[in-house]
Structure 1
Amino acid sequence: MSEPGRDEAATRLMLDFAARTGLTGDQPARRYLWTDAFAVCNLLGLGGGGGSASLRGLAVRLVEQVHHVLGRHRPDDPRTGWISGLSEEAGEAHPTRGGLRIGKPLPERGPDEPFDPELEWERDGQYYHYLTKWMHALDQWSRFTGDPSGNRQARELAVAAHAAFTYAPRAGGTRRMYWKMSIDLRRPLVPSMGHHDPLDGLVTYLQLRAGGGDPGDGPALAREVAEMAAIADRRDWVTDDPLGLGGLMTDAWRLDRLIRRGAGGEALLVPVLAAASRGAAAYLRQRQLERPLHDRLAFRELGLAIGLHAVARLDAAVREDPRPYEAMPAVRRHLEQLAEHLPQRGVIEAFWSRPEHRRADNWLAHHDINEVMLATTLAPTGYLSLSLVEPGESVDSHAAA
């Protein structure tokens, strides 16, 4: 499929998503934070440069709608207003200071309700890894538009999320993280730590600092970076989960952008690339991409395809200018190993682009997230374009990286 054809297919997917979830048309608003983070990036990328201004407008509208839906208490909750507890006026000015709800269909588990691992998947609350995706989307909003308010709101969200999700064990030692918190961020709902949450948090904090303007416009994140670096120190990031692998690959690309700007991340790049390389080899040895349709989850595989797009960009950047890594030969070695898997992008995209596969029950069960992440795979610029621009500039005046 040609680049114009890919953009056209991605645009159709995004316009259908906008109508189906109440961003356009007369359907009630149905917001879900993970999906909406990718959607904002897609709309920005498709509407950037020579794209449609109406798509850029939809991205701005989606940000506002997410804040007004997921930044406020649920309609079936006796609590009302902003989940941060701020006044209406203050909440409008700082919509992310209390975090953002996931957008799950069921209310969160009450303090006296027993934990049910199956039911918990359908219950509302806050996920740290969803919040980092929204931080990235807000930062991309600032990068694409030159409006610093997105980065400021992302940094305010980082402070709120970090304070709630990280904690010091009673016995002392390194801080740890909760995986899921209550809507008001006052109590953990799932106390275990997500495998890649510390890594995603640290890379995102560094990205937000690099994309910010005057520190007076928002938190500087010095404490958050230091504490998350301690949590992430010497952890093993290896996974054979395709969505997790895609995240590792994307984090490696983001680290390259930071390193080239002198914004940190040098100590992370080789461990992340090594984990991605080992994990990708293990996953593909299992021949998971040859399994029957009913045994596959599109959004997880599409996450891997997005990560492989990031690997292709990173490989091209290092080939063009290897100077930052002259003393780090392992970067080139792991990239060469990962680049061997780049053809799998096309395999995944082709499989999930087939109309009959997108009518299957396991596609429709996750319709919104599947279609938005397919759009990201077809047109990844909005999600992956981290141009080396100065704060306050927009990517429209620079070539997309």
Structure 2
Amino acid sequence: MSANSNRSLLRFTEAMNLVYGTFDHLSPDAAARWTAPDKPGAGGHRGRYLWTDAFGVINFITLSKETSSPIYLTLAKRLVHTVHGVLGYTRDGTARLPGATDAEPLAGGLRIGKLAAHGADGDGQYHHYLTLWMFALNRLAVATGEDGYSRLAVQLAKAVHPHFVVRGYGEGGEEEEAVRMVWKLSTDMDTVLVPSEGHLDAATGYVVYRVLQRTVEHMGSPRGLLGGEIADYRRLMSRGGKLRASRDPLDLGMGLWMCHFFRDEDWARELGGQSLEMARTMLGEKRGLMARDASRRLAFREFGTCLGLQCYGAQEETRRGVEAVVNFWNRYIEESIDEDLRPISLVMYAAALIPGAWQDEYLGPG
């Protein structure tokens, strides 16, 4: 391993330690008993925040591969167990979310983990957080060979899809094709809290559900378990103007990340090409992000760009831009970032350093 690789791995581990406590010297027995801390934790309700912990799970898988240590897979499993035990339950922790059972613990979805129960930035369920968690479960299934995680991902996928995809009805009462998606639901998924449609929600669903289906079939389940859902997302993302490169650094990066799974398909080639052009502007040395003061930037959103570019594949100019962003935030990552945003920034910083298990080929075919 090169000096640069060693340095990146050290920074990666330090960032994860700051979120999940010191874990890199745990014995196998201690790792099997480990519980993800609520302080500092992932920064959400009772220490759990779904987006941050999804990155945490995938980063633990990366650590396992980079170090050849199975302990980190144990920690990934334990983090999944903790998340399901907090965000799969009502906020008071007394009952599973409506629709979930002991046999189907994710049939009620998963809460975001917002600190507030209600209000404009209150708790609920986001489609883009849920698909990220499905992907984390999928990566854990591939890394461990345990199909239970794959089946949990499919269970969650099938449970939330009909609540986020809004269908119309014809005059005769016949169901028409899916017409749109909604962005945010209540924790019980009975009420639409934000009726607008996320820019990449349909495309993310299309990509992640295909990855889930590929893995579950590889592990012996019947073909086409998610065929109807995938068809819905395909129709939704194919509407005119729905797929375009974003000027938002996080959206830009996550779009590139999605494209790298199916880069030979027309939609991915087009979106990927547009996004690379946008990234060149965004990461230019004398303009874009690097021309701004730290107080006018959000680290975690920029790390999304870095992650997406490394997964998709960047040209030399853009690779230098990725290095510049990561090096810039090295100076601020522990102290100057807002405390509420520190956990999400740290896990995404780690992923920007070593994308690892975020890359489709990293763990082999799933």
Shorter-chain-normalised TM-score: which range? 0.7 to 0.9
What is the SS of the residue equivalent to 2:21? helix
1:187-207 CA-to-partner distances (Å, cap 9, x unmatched) read 110000000001101000111
What is the SS of the residue equivalent to 2:206? helix
1:111-136 CA-to-partner distances (Å, cap 9, x unmatched) read xxxxxxxx412x00000000010011
Q: Choose the corresponding residue for 1:65, options 72, 82, 91.
A: 82
- The yes-or-no answer on 1:104 pairing with 2:111 is no
Unaligned runs of 5+ in 2: 23-33, 171-175
Dislocated runs of 4+, deviation >6 Å:
none
Letter in 1 for 2:97: I
1:152-203 CA-to-partner distances (Å, cap 9, x unmatched) read 1111111112111001245766521000011111111000000000110100
Q: Choose the corresponding residue for 1:350, options 317, 327, 344.
A: 327
Within 2, Cα distance between the matches of 1:14 and 1:357? Answer: 12
Identity of paired residues, percent?
32
What is the SS of the residue equivalent to 2:257? helix
Alignment correspondent of 1:190? 194
Q: Choose the corresponding residue for 1:9, options 8, 11, 14.
A: 11
Report the RMSD for the aligned CA atoms in angstroms: 2.5
Q: Is the 8 A contact 1:363 1:370 kept in 2?
A: no
Q: Is the 8 A contact 1:168 1:174 kept in 2?
A: yes
Pairing of 1:267-286 with structure 2 (within 5 A): 267-284=266-283
Within 1, Cα distance between the matches of 2:333 and 2:187? Answer: 36
Alignment correspondent of 1:85? 99
Q: Cα gap change, 1:46/1:306 in structure 2, threshold over 3 Å: closer, same or farther?
A: same
**Higher deviation after alignment, 190-199 or 54-63:** 54-63
Q: Choose the corresponding residue for 1:233, options 238, 244, 252.
A: 238
The structural deviation recorded for 1:49 is 5.8
The structural deviation recorded for 1:278 is 4.0
The structural deviation recorded for 1:357 is 5.2
What is the SS of the residue equivalent to 2:95? coil
TM-score by length of 2: 0.85
The structural deviation recorded for 1:374 is 0.7
Q: Is the 8 A contact 1:33 1:134 kept in 2?
A: yes
Alignment correspondent of 1:47? 64
What is the SS of the residue equivalent to 2:117? coil
Letter in 2 for 1:45: T
Q: Is the 8 A contact 1:158 1:205 kept in 2?
A: yes
Q: Cα gap change, 1:36/1:156 in structure 2, threshold over 3 Å: closer, same or farther?
A: same
The structural deviation recorded for 1:340 is 3.7
Alignment correspondent of 2:300? 299
Q: Cα gap change, 1:99/1:219 in structure 2, threshold over 3 Å: closer, same or farther?
A: farther
TM-score by length of 1: 0.78
**Higher deviation after alignment, 272-281 or 9-18:** 272-281
Q: Is the 8 A contact 1:139 1:208 kept in 2?
A: yes
Pairing of 1:349-368 with structure 2 (within 5 A): 349-354=326-331, 356=332, 358-360=334-336, 362-368=337-343
**Higher deviation after alignment, 1-10 or 287-296:** 1-10
Within 2, Cα distance between the matches of 1:357 and 1:14? Answer: 12
- The yes-or-no answer on 1:214 pairing with 2:220 is yes
Tell me how many residue pairs correspond in the alignment: 338
The structural deviation recorded for 1:5 is 1.8
Within 1, Cα distance between the matches of 2:224 and 2:105? Answer: 15
**Higher deviation after alignment, 128-137 or 172-181:** 172-181
Within 2, Cα distance between the matches of 1:51 and 1:38? Answer: 19
Within 2, Cα distance between the matches of 1:363 and 1:105? Answer: 15
Q: Is the 8 A contact 1:246 1:303 kept in 2?
A: yes
Q: Is the 8 A contact 1:128 1:197 kept in 2?
A: yes
The structural deviation recorded for 1:50 is 3.8
Within 2, Cα distance between the matches of 1:25 and 1:34? Answer: 16
Letter in 2 for 1:208: L
Unaligned runs of 5+ in 1: 109-118, 260-265, 316-337, 392-401
